[in-house]
Amino acid sequence: MTTTLGAPPPAPGLERVTARRTKVGLVAGGLGAYWPQFPELLPQLRRCAARVATRMQALDCEVVDAGFVSDAEEGARAAEKLRVAGCDLVVGFLTTYMTASMLVPIAQRSGAPVLLINLQPTEAMDHASFDTGQWLAYCGACPLPEMANAFRRCGIDFRSVSGHLEDERAWERISRWIAAAGVRGALRHGRHGLMGHLYPGMLDVSTDLTLVPANFGGHMEVLEFDDLRVRVAAVTDAQVDERLALARQVFDLDPSVQEEDFRWAARVSVGLDRLVDDFSLDSLAYYHRGLEGEQHERLGAGMILGASLLTARGVPAVGEYELRTSLAMLITDRLGGGGSFTELQALNFRDNVVEMGHDGPAHLAISGRRPLLRGLGVYHGKRGWGVSVEFDVAHGPVTLFGIAQQRDGAFTFVTAAGEVVPGPLLEIGNTTSRVDFGCDPGEWTDAWSATGISHHWALGVGDLRPRLRATADLLGVELVEVAP
C-alpha cells in the first residue's frame, strides 16, 4: 500500500522506495464427484476462479495461482507448489462443496496463513429456473463450517470472507487481509537498523533485540554512528546543493534557519540515504547523546531533515532509539496511513483535544499543509542544535498505533481512532496535532497509558483499525483498542 493523502507531492529525490511485493497464493476447488454429474458446473466454476485471480491481481500483489483442485491428491500437489512459492498469504476459494481433506494439507504445508473465501457467482440464485447443477455453483458456504472445524482441530487459525463475486464489501474485507499479509511479509523479510544507544533512563523504550525476530521475524542490524560519519564525510558539496534544492521544494523555511545548520542537515541527509542503501534497511531507530559539540553530537542533531525525508519515502527513521515505534511506523505506512513519530504533548480541556506530536522526524506525506523547517538553538532534553520539522497532520480521521512490550517479552498492538481538528498550535519546531477522541482528554490519556504503551507511537491518517485487526491476527499478536 502507498500513502496518497497529504503533502508534499512527489519530487525528484522524494520518490517512495520500492517495497517488497506481497505474494498471495490462490487455490480454487470443488468436489470432483460433481463434474461428470453436471458437465456445465466445472467450466462455470473455473470462470469464477479466473475472475477472483484477476481481482486479486488488482490489489497490488503478486498472485501465485495453484489452479483448481478436485480431490485430496490434487490438493497435496497444490500445497507443494504454494510451499515452494513462499507466499505471505494463501487464499482458498470455495467454489462449491469440497472436503476439508483438500485444503488442510495446503494450510499445513504452505508456511503461510490461510484465508478461505466463499464468493458465489451473483447476489442470489434464480430459484424458479435453477436446477441442481446451477445451485451447486452457489454452494461455497456449504463446506465453510466443515473447514472451520477441521482447521481448529488441526491447530490451524481460521479466517474467512463470504459474499458474492462482485460484492465490494467482501472485496474490501479481502483487501484488508492482503494488506495485512503485506505487513507480515515486510516484517518477516525486513532489515531494521538500530544506531547509537538508548536515551539514558528511558526504560520503556529499551527492547531486547532478539524479541523482534522472535515476534515478527526479520533481521536486526546493529550500527555505529561511525557508520554514518564516514558516509557523511564522503558527501560532496554538489550533492549537498542538490539536497538543499529538494528541501526548499518540500519545505517552507522559517527565518530562524541558519544556512550553516541547513547545509549540515542536508549533508547528513545524503549520508543517511547512503547508510540505508548500503545496509538495505527498511527502518532505522537512532540516538546519540554527544558532548560539547563533538562530531557525533552534530551528526545526531543533524538527523531530523534526512530522517523525515526517508520516512516520507517509506523508510521510517526515528529518534530516541525507539525501535518498536520505528516498526509501528513501518506497519502504519504499509497499511496506507503514513505514520508520524508521536508522543503526548499537552491536554486541552477547553477544546477537548489531546495535543500530540514530536520534536523530530515526521512523515511528510501526511502533513495537512506545506511543512516548515524551523531553526532551533536548543533541542529540549537533547544536546545539539539545528533544524527541525513543524507541521500538523492532515485534518480528519486518524489512527494511533504503537507496539507495547509485555513482561514476558510478547509484543502487543495498541491502537485508538480519533480526528485531527483545527485550532491553535505551538510554533516551536514540533509536529503538533490536535486530536479529538470524542471524550474527556484526561480519561482518554489514562486509558491509553493503562495499556502499557511506551513513550512514542505512530500517528497515521484514516481509520486503520480494520486492517490492524487483520494484521494482528496474521501475526498472532494481541490487539488492544482504546475507546473510553
Specify whether the CB–CB gap between 446 and 482 falls below 8 A.
no
* Domain 22-187, CATH class in plain words: alpha beta
Q: Which residue has the cell 527513521?
A: 317
Break the chain into its structural domains and give their ranges: 22-187, 189-481
Domain 189-481 CATH class label: alpha beta
| Residue-wise pLDDT tens digits, 238-252 | 999 999 999 999 999
DSSP state of 451: T
Residue 206, C-alpha cell as written in the block: 529499551
Q: At what angle do helices 259-278 and 303-312 cross, to 10 degrees?
A: 50
Count CA atoms closer than 13 A to 466's CA, side-chain side: 12
> Which three three-digit cell numbers place residue 300?
545526531
Beta bridge partners of 231: none
Over residues 319-365, the pLDDT tens digits come to: 999 999 999 999 999 999 999 999 999 999 999 999 999 887 899 99
Name which of 330, 432, 457 is nearest 371 in CA terms: 432
CA distance 416 to 404: 14
Region of residue 317 (left: phi > 0; alpha: psi -120 to 50; beta: else): beta
For 207-235, give one letter per residue: b (16+ CB within 10 A) or e.
beeebbeebbebbbbebebebbbebbeeb
Q: Is the dihedral of CA 418, 423, 424, 425 positive or negative?
A: positive
- Residues 334, 336, 342: CA angle, nearest 5 degrees: 85
The three cell numbers locating residue 281? 534497511
Query: What pTM, to 2 d.p., does this model score?
Result: 0.94
Beta partners for residue 115, in sequence order: 91
Residue 354's DSSP bridge partners are 347, 435
- Helix locations, 58-91, DSSP H: 72-85
Place of cell 481509520: 463
Tally of CA atoms within 13 A in the half-sphere of 199 that contains its CB: 19
Q: What angle do CA 117, 119, 122 make, to 5 degrees?
A: 175
Task: Classify strands 283-287 and 191-196 as parallel, antiparallel or unpaired.
Answer: parallel
Q: Could you read off the pLDDT tens digit of each residue along the chain, which spans 484 residues? A: 344 444 444 567 788 998 899 999 999 999 999 999 999 999 999 999 999 999 999 998 999 999 999 999 999 999 999 999 999 999 999 999 999 999 999 999 998 999 999 999 999 999 999 999 999 999 999 999 999 999 999 999 999 999 999 999 999 999 999 999 999 999 999 999 999 998 888 888 888 899 999 999 999 999 999 999 999 999 999 999 999 999 999 999 999 999 999 999 999 999 999 999 999 999 999 998 888 878 898 999 899 999 999 999 999 999 999 999 999 999 999 999 999 999 999 999 999 999 999 887 899 999 998 999 999 867 766 777 789 999 999 999 999 999 999 999 899 999 999 999 999 998 888 899 999 999 999 999 999 999 999 999 999 999 999 999 999 999 999 999 999 7
Handedness of CA 20, 178, 60, 417 (dihedral sign): negative
Of 179, 178, 482, 169, the residue nearest 337 (C-alpha): 179
pLDDT given for residue 10 in this prediction: 58
Please check whether residue 361 is in contact with residue 311, taking contact to mean a CB–CB distance below 8 angstroms: yes
pLDDT of 206 reads: 86
Grid cell locating 42: 466445472
